[in-house]
Structure 1
Amino acid sequence: MTLAEAPKVRADAAPAETVLSVDGLTVSVATETGLRPLVQDISFALKRGETLAIAGESGSGKSITSLAVMGLLPANVRATTGAVRLAGTDLLRLPEARMRAIRGDRVAMIFQEPMTSLNPVMTVGAQLVEAIQAHEPLTRREAQARALGALKSVRLSEPERRLRQFPHELSGGMRQRVMIAMAIALRPDVLIADEPTTALDVTVQREVLDLLRDLRREMGTAIILITHDMGVVAEMADRVIVMKDGRVVEEGPAIRIFDAPREAYTQTLLAAVPRMGERPAEEPPPPRPSVCVLRDLTVHFDVGRGLLGRATHRVHAVEGVSLEVRQGETFALVGESGCGKSTIAKTIAGLVPFAGEIEIAGRKLHSQADITRAVRRDAQIVFQDPAAALDPRMRVGDLVAEPLVIHGIGTPPERHATVEALFERVGLSRAQIGRYPHEFSGGQRQRICIARALVLRPKLIVADESVSALDVSVQARVLQLLKELRDELGVSFLFISHDMAVVDAFADRVAVMFLGQIMEMGTRAQVFGNPHHSYTRRLIEAVPIPDPGHVRPSRERLASEVPSPVRRRDDPPRRLLLRDVGGGHLVAEAGPG
């Protein structure tokens, strides 16, 4: 069965009937001092074919609400009051055996990170068949046919082959499509999508949103969309609930919420959303000295083994990239996963071998061995996940001071004074220096990582997706901090991101990458205001617009995933030449479109 073949609505359904209602739901966690509410007095009704967005920052209670609906709350968390009714049945009062029959069949859920939801030791096909047979009395052959139809419905390339593959063999976008296929295979009444596009590239995000829209239109499925991305809310939602600290602060039609928000929190949330094209044109700065220059940078990884143990294939992660980051500027690298952005960051940090030349603060480097401790002092890196970048066993003050210890800079009192000054500079207090990473929010942990990167007074900071996982308001505060540091300290940023709106708000110059090569490069105004390459235009067109009234023009749907950078060793890719179309605006002569 494909989406096109699915019934518009179930036979017993009226077009506007209420399929799910939540009344006075309160969810509490058991603590040593008693029950503490996490979500309080939540109420809403969901109609067939409707999309309800639940928006808010991390910790607002969005996901806890959805887990309560699914009956998947942790052992120490339970619904203390209220009701969750599906076709008149209160799901909160059902025993687990009956709830298990409903879960996946009548109410399905797509989680944010598909790798934590898919079994890594089972093929995609086996997992789909298992889910289908758990709810419907089908033979294995019939379940396999249903699974294949579900993969075709989500427009996954080579669906027959995907059934035989394991989750780790698929890209992030492919895995998310598998999760959607698993959810729709049983044609549920309600689909809960919990941050389904947060970690996806902008083009893959566009495909996933299109799929959800198709599902709603062609199968009559009601969708609860949980997200902090207000652009996604504007494009998908009929109605919006805004949550803060476990409570509903505002709700209403999407158009009203965006056009005339009543609550200060909603207004702050919307004001923090980056919007492409809103940044005014700026005069180009005078010529500045270079801090980092890449000349014909190439990074390859050999994979596969032939009969004699020789590599048969090669990953062309970075293929002849040349660029220049100047003092006090933000140079952004944008592109989809696998284009080589993060590989360039790791190369500058000395983490992978390379060919070509890297020049940092006047030092020319021709191999990984040339990247010495002195070079690393001038080029620091801030990673995407601050929780993974901070040792949970160390106090944050010691983590920030650690680079000073490694480089033998200052006495213990001098180091402590430096750490105190940096904490205040990044918006944290001196009293927090003795705490551990788990005692901070995601935005605060990222500020700690920024302080650690600044402690050696580097000339270049490589920010690798450093704000992509943050709530929109936290993201705005961190970006403002980076701008202030750039202006006050003269530090340069190599800013790596797949979020085009964030790049438009923050960057001075931009390079668009695809499969290890640069497709277009120039000032922010040149690349985003007058894109010449078809790939750049495709990326820009896929950016969600935070305006419910915006009508997105129809475009051809992509039939396959981004091509792979893995090629046979005897089949290297063609190097693309960049031509100047005026004012230093460089465009590849040919390439993907």
Structure 2
Amino acid sequence: MIEVKDMTTGAAAAPDTAPPVLQVQGLTISVRAEGRERPLVSDLSFTLARGETIAIAGESGSGKSLTSLAIMGLLPPPALRVSEGRILLNDQDLTSLSESRMRTVRGNRIAMIFQEPMTSLNPVLTIGLQLAEAIRAHEPISKREARARALEALKAVRISEPERRMGQYPHELSGGMRQRVMIAMALALRPDVLIADEPTTALDVTVQREVLDLLRDLQREMGTAIILITHDMGVVSEMAERVIVMKQGRAVEQGPVRQIFEAPQESYTRDLLAAVPRMGDGSGAPARDGDAAPVASLRDVRVRFDIRGGILSQVTHRVHAVENVSLDIMAGETFSLVGESGCGKSTIAKALVGLVPHQGRIEVAGHVLGGMKSSDMKSLRRDVQIVFQDPMAALDPRMRVGELVGEPLLIHAIGTPEERRERVAGLFERVGLSRDQLDRYPHEFSGGQRQRICIARALALQPKLIVADESVSALDVSVQARVLDLLAALKREFGIAYLFISHDMAVVENISDRVAVMYMGQIVEMGTRAQIFGNPRHPYTKRLMAAVPVPDPTHRRPPVPRLAGEVPSPVYPVGEAPQRLPLRNLGDGHLVADAPEPM
């Protein structure tokens, strides 16, 4: 039996005198399998006071998200159920409520921000309709009033062109924008308790900073209590008063955030904190071979999407997603793209693998994209693989994960069925999964485990270039460290190059050889890791660095002016285009755009 180390003595930050708004007492969540019940969360207890933030940390599969689903009454019956314990919301036991009564609580008194926004939003309803529907489900207001409230909520999370987003569908938004919509939906009703399950996973650091500030504002104005589920220990140190560390369904340690960070009692907690990437730790990473040949080259690449309107549905505007981007990715190099969601990072990734049309020249592994035959495209895709941001949307829910990872081998006719299965089993073990999980379906895994499955599938063909689009954003820090070590080992062993897209600046510093900073579809600064992190020159790059959460509760962030005004947009009328930002070489390949600070 695991002993829980409770370090609540000396907790100055937690509002101890405030009455508890939520009490979890001896919570046990069980799953029924093969005629017997097995506990997935065992004997979890904690209290949450009004206006307090408590963080639940731990590896994927430790029971963090299951706990939040139990509080929301969203455990799928009959497989999962609360077998023991109580969940009290202002002395009302939520576990005893019927589904109809729970619906009046859910979203109104307890709201939740889910981890994967694409699977949480209805794909056939517009953003505005979904927001207004959520508001009208709990408040007797007109459609017009609900729409106005929905628009205010979108503006509060600082999404670009909020009026236009109201009429768009989820697939038309980037991952970060979809997450902001989910946050707006949760904040619109100003609940008593807000459960934030990885609320900033898909957000870049500057928007993450604004969202965290918004959550603090909500607490100050309404006294909202927050349960923060996250693997970002920097966010934990800045937001939480208390921390619960979970492992395999049990709380192994809990206490004030400062004591947990400074003097953890459990070895598991110490390992968890040791795995946290920190800014400044990447200076000693080995440099790449300077004589390597490029595996991918982009020259003046532009990607634009038409917007139609009017009675005749003519093209009236264009989204300038990528504008005049030129870069080289060398063999065996990790080249990172950083910037806000919607800046064009993922669009470049899709253009590299031929998923979106482009202008300009893209050459990958000797193949020039554009007008290629299907046989040439098949050869290209053997050399280039991509790991997408949202693992659940990238995996076929009807296929077993072993079949999903082995599918590239089958398509390219590599090996016998027995050899393919053995190779897939080896890939599972390399990404931290086990052989006995090969025959399971995607929904049986946690978000972090699903992302590891996607990485294993990308590695199956041993490609020359892997495009990793937020490939570790859904992973907790310990698994993230193992996956990053795996990527580095594969780079050394096979000479694989990576285009690494991430909003986690600490991870980027520790893994990258070179870095390009993007803003509004253009590169504003590019250079080696040491140049970008040691001597950032563009104001936007400096703003990205300043927004990174620091995993140290004693760190005090200097006050930064809150951004005001309309968020810049990459949408221009037909015939107009954004101003081109030429890059100036400061020496040794450190390129910077001469431009005033954006935003």
Among candidates 175, 197, 211, match of residue 214 of structure 2: 211
> Residue 5 of structure 1 aligns with which residue?
none
> Residue 478 of structure 1 aligns with which residue?
483
> Residue 317 of structure 1 aligns with which residue?
321
> Residue 34 of structure 1 aligns with which residue?
36
Give SS of 2:589's match.
coil
Letter paired with 1:490: G
Q: 1:16 to 1:63 in 2, by over 3 A?
A: same
| Larger deviation, residues 211-220 vs 78-87 | 78-87
1:225 lines up with 2:251 in the alignment: no
Q: 1:153 to 1:436 in 2, by over 3 A?
A: closer
Give SS of 1:552's match.
coil
- Confirm or deny: 8 A CA contact 1:112 1:198 kept in the other structure: yes
| Larger deviation, residues 139-148 vs 373-382 | 139-148
Give SS of 2:475's match.
coil
Separation (CA, whole Å) in 1 of partners of 2:444 and 2:181: 35
Q: 1:312 to 1:533 in 2, by over 3 A?
A: same
Separation (CA, whole Å) in 1 of partners of 2:98 and 2:561: 47
- Confirm or deny: 8 A CA contact 1:124 1:162 kept in the other structure: no
Shift of residue 484, structure 1, vs aligned partner: 0.6
- Structure 1 portions without partners, runs of 5+: 1-12
Letter paired with 1:259: E
- 1:66-105 aligned within 5 A: 66-76=68-78, 77-105=80-108
Shift of residue 314, structure 1, vs aligned partner: 2.2
Shift of residue 570, structure 1, vs aligned partner: 0.3
| Larger deviation, residues 475-484 vs 190-199 | 190-199
> Residue 61 of structure 2 aligns with which residue?
59
Letter paired with 2:337: L
Shift of residue 453, structure 1, vs aligned partner: 3.8
Q: 1:64 to 1:374 in 2, by over 3 A?
A: closer
Letter paired with 1:22: V
TM-score normalized by structure 1? 0.86
Give SS of 2:21's match.
strand
Among candidates 278, 292, 298, match of residue 288 of structure 1: 292
Shift of residue 463, structure 1, vs aligned partner: 1.9
- Confirm or deny: 8 A CA contact 1:115 1:167 kept in the other structure: no
Give SS of 1:463's match.
strand
| Larger deviation, residues 496-505 vs 285-294 | 285-294
Give SS of 1:521's match.
strand
1:18 lines up with 2:20 in the alignment: yes
Letter paired with 2:508: V
Shift of residue 57, structure 1, vs aligned partner: 2.2
1:351 lines up with 2:355 in the alignment: yes
Shift of residue 296, structure 1, vs aligned partner: 1.6
- Confirm or deny: 8 A CA contact 1:274 1:501 kept in the other structure: yes
Give SS of 1:42's match.
strand
1:302 lines up with 2:306 in the alignment: yes
> Residue 271 of structure 2 aligns with which residue?
268
Separation (CA, whole Å) in 2 of partners of 1:366 and 1:291: 17
Give SS of 2:112's match.
strand
| Larger deviation, residues 163-172 vs 543-552 | 163-172
| Larger deviation, residues 73-82 vs 401-410 | 401-410
Among candidates 565, 569, 588, match of residue 570 of structure 2: 565
| Larger deviation, residues 182-191 vs 84-93 | 182-191
- Confirm or deny: 8 A CA contact 1:510 1:522 kept in the other structure: yes
Q: 1:534 to 1:178 in 2, by over 3 A?
A: same
Separation (CA, whole Å) in 2 of partners of 1:444 and 1:180: 24
> Residue 345 of structure 2 aligns with which residue?
341
Separation (CA, whole Å) in 2 of partners of 1:331 and 1:35: 48
Shift of residue 512, structure 1, vs aligned partner: 1.0
> Residue 502 of structure 2 aligns with which residue?
497
Separation (CA, whole Å) in 2 of partners of 1:398 and 1:261: 42
Q: 1:105 to 1:342 in 2, by over 3 A?
A: closer
Shift of residue 283, structure 1, vs aligned partner: 6.8
1:529 lines up with 2:534 in the alignment: yes
Between Structure 1 and Structure 2, whose CA radius of gyration is higher?
A: 1
- Confirm or deny: 8 A CA contact 2:119 2:393 kept in the other structure: no
Q: 1:104 to 1:271 in 2, by over 3 A?
A: same
- Confirm or deny: 8 A CA contact 2:28 2:42 kept in the other structure: yes
Aligned identity (percent) is: 68
Q: 1:269 to 1:100 in 2, by over 3 A?
A: same
Separation (CA, whole Å) in 1 of partners of 2:149 and 2:69: 27
Q: 1:287 to 1:248 in 2, by over 3 A?
A: same
Separation (CA, whole Å) in 2 of partners of 1:418 and 1:73: 35
Separation (CA, whole Å) in 1 of partners of 2:144 and 2:379: 63
> Residue 329 of structure 1 aligns with which residue?
333
Describe the superposition over 1:294-339 as per-residue Cα deviations: whole angstroms up to 9, x where unpaired. 1222222333156666422222222111111112111111122222
- Confirm or deny: 8 A CA contact 1:155 1:559 kept in the other structure: no
Give SS of 2:283's match.
coil
| Larger deviation, residues 74-83 vs 574-583 | 74-83
| Larger deviation, residues 274-283 vs 319-328 | 274-283
Shift of residue 368, structure 1, vs aligned partner: 4.9
| Larger deviation, residues 555-564 vs 342-351 | 555-564
Q: 1:28 to 1:528 in 2, by over 3 A?
A: same
Shift of residue 136, structure 1, vs aligned partner: 5.3
Give SS of 1:298's match.
strand
Separation (CA, whole Å) in 2 of partners of 1:136 and 1:395: 43
- 1:388-467 aligned within 5 A: 388-391=393-396, 402-404=407-409, 406-407=411-412, 446=451, 449-467=454-472
Describe the superposition over 1:424-454 as per-residue Cα deviations: whole angstroms up to 9, x where unpaired. 6656677776776667666665555445444
Give SS of 2:281's match.
coil
> Residue 583 of structure 2 aligns with which residue?
578
Describe the superposition over 1:339-394 as per-residue Cα deviations: whole angstroms up to 9, x where unpaired. 22222222222223322222334455565559544433333333334555455666
Letter paired with 2:492: D
Separation (CA, whole Å) in 2 of partners of 1:425 and 1:177: 34
Separation (CA, whole Å) in 1 of partners of 2:562 and 2:236: 21
Shift of residue 126, structure 1, vs aligned partner: 5.9
Separation (CA, whole Å) in 2 of partners of 1:35 and 1:492: 46
Q: 1:281 to 1:217 in 2, by over 3 A?
A: same
- Confirm or deny: 8 A CA contact 2:160 2:566 kept in the other structure: yes
1:382 lines up with 2:387 in the alignment: yes
Shift of residue 541, structure 1, vs aligned partner: 1.7
